[in-house]
Amino acid sequence: MAPTTLSALWHLDTPKRVSGYFRSPSREPLKLQNFIENHFLDYEHTSEWIDSFAPRSGKLLAKVPRSPANVVEYAVNVASRAFPAWSHTTAEYRSEILLRIASIMEQKKELFVLWENSDHGKPVFRARVEVERSIEQFRYFANYILENDSAVHLNKDLGASTLTYEHRVPVGIYAIVTSWNMPLYLLASKIAPCLAFGCTGVAKPSELASVTAFLFSEVLRRAELPPGVMNIVLGDGAGTGSTLVSSPLIQGVSFTGGVKAGIQIREKTAPDIHKQLFLEIKGSCPTVVFGDANMDVAAATAASAVFENSGQLCLSGSRIYVHRSVYEVFLPRLIRYIHLNYGVHIGLGPVISPEYYAKIRSYLVEASEQPANIKFETGDVPAEVPQDGFWIHPTILRGVRTHGPVEREIFGPVATVYQFDREEEVIRLCNDNPNGMGAVILTDDMARMSRVGKHLDASVVWADCWLGRDLGAGLTDLRATGSGQEGGTRGRDMFTRLRAVHVPSY
């Protein structure tokens, strides 16, 4: 059987098998398929393909369907037909399906780990964390929906006495559009609650990293999810994604991605006022180092916040603010930690694509051409033409202006470092950037942790730690550019509508 088929790919689940596949002289690019109504569409339904490259080598890895409008419409119609039956299933039945999905993913965990590493380029240890977290999403919501989440109120008003039951109903058919930076995790974080709360949907992962979404389709099939309940179509955002979110049958959109794409979705869906929109926008987050922090711990935490996933996280701490009293102590320790722990092929993966490589490089060229006050503490301007993968050395810049594109728009292994003097000043600097979603506060003063944390425009704040997060705590995009929600009751609120039923009380 050809190595481009799903059956062959499904068994490439050990390092030896994967490396053997890549060494094979007869290897051809993977040809991915759309998954609609629990079937993989034949190649004859695809007339255009998108080239997807392996970030670690720069070589062509996969051919991704550029799904046309008729394929997208087919998937949406299938999800629409599946909705009435699925929305009336019991929570127990849906919980069983979610646990089945989690079990199959657990069995094939290394398959997903190795292909996240190959398709996205992230280190294996990072890929394993994200795959395990993806599995946890399905188990979490499988348990969540079995809890009694209804409420009853006794009302006495205008001479009448009633009981009010709060009853939640599924929104309907959802468009799920995810970014490339955490391919499997972002998909799981939206599909799990979508299924849990009785919605059906069509998901479109990023065309830059679609392999694990393709493999996840097989998990849904093997878990015997009823046909049409969740469909996965592949393609670009401008064509496939735009057609999907614009469909009049789509009643909700859950999106993770960039500002421009989020704005385009709002514009495309403006006439459909009934649609629920949840737009989680990628950005850069601040790390604040106060003078009383343990400098070694602060350096390690700040470096991790910058360079995990090659800085390609919505919660990456790419802006580092250091109290002036410890700036000259902190910076050498940060640089030393980076040299020991983050380098090309050592702790750091490549960036996702040649386009993103060129974009990041252009910002670094701009920084290098600025006046002499901008300094590369680590890293440099990468080669114009990448060789053997899309690798950019971990880069720390000082002297960068706070309102420029280098500070606000780089989504990669680059951080800017600044000094501050007062709490009020650093809070203003952090909040002045509209692209932040989270924040890291490094201090030994617990009162300061609380005080500063309450004033930062961030949906999640870490104090003396980073990235560990309770799924039940959820995540809400507080910034003007986004309206995303996920986790716990926020996931419930995204995929259900609240209905109040009043009955007489005697």
Question: Which two three-digit tokens encode residue 474?
Answer: 């959820």
Quick one: tokens of 433?
């950037």
> Which 3 state secondary structure label does DSSP give 70?
helix
CA 468 – CA 464 distance, rounded (Å)? 11
Name, in order, each residue with C-beta under 8 angstroms of 373's C-beta and a sequence gap of 6 or more: 399
Select from 219, 305, 242 the least CA-distant residue to 35. 219
The tokens describing 201, both together, are 């949907």
Phi/psi of residue 466, nearest 5 degrees: -160, 140
Active site residue 280: yes
Nearest to 250 by CA among 189, 200, 192: 200
> Are 55 and 353 a contacting pair, CB within 8 Å?
yes
Question: Which phi-psi region, left, alpha or beta, contains residue 178 (left: φ > 0; alpha: ψ -120 to 50)?
Answer: beta
Task: Please measure the distance between the N-terminal and C-terminal CA atoms of the chain and give it in whole angstroms.
Answer: 70
The runs of H, that is alpha helices, within 223-350 are 242-246, 259-269, 295-307, 327-341
Q: Are 62 and 29 in contact (CB under 8 A)?
A: yes
Antiparallel, parallel or unpaired: β 200-204 and 173-177: parallel
CA distance 504 to 36: 46
CA 498-500-502 angle, to 5 degrees, is 170
- The Cα–Cα gap between 463 and 369 comes to 36
Active-site pick, 194, 314, 407, 486: 314
User: In the numeric block, which tokens belong to residue 317?
Assistant: 């701490």
52, 61 contact by CB (below 8 A): yes
Could you confirm whether 314 is annotated as catalytic? yes
Interacting residues of 111 by C-beta distance below 8 A, sequence separation 6+ = 10, 12, 13, 215
Of the residues 110, 218, 280, 407, only one is catalytic, namely 280
Which residue, chain included where needed, has tokens 């629990």?
38
Which of 187, 280, 312 lies closest to 477 in space, CA to CA?
A: 280
Residues tagged active-site: 280, 314
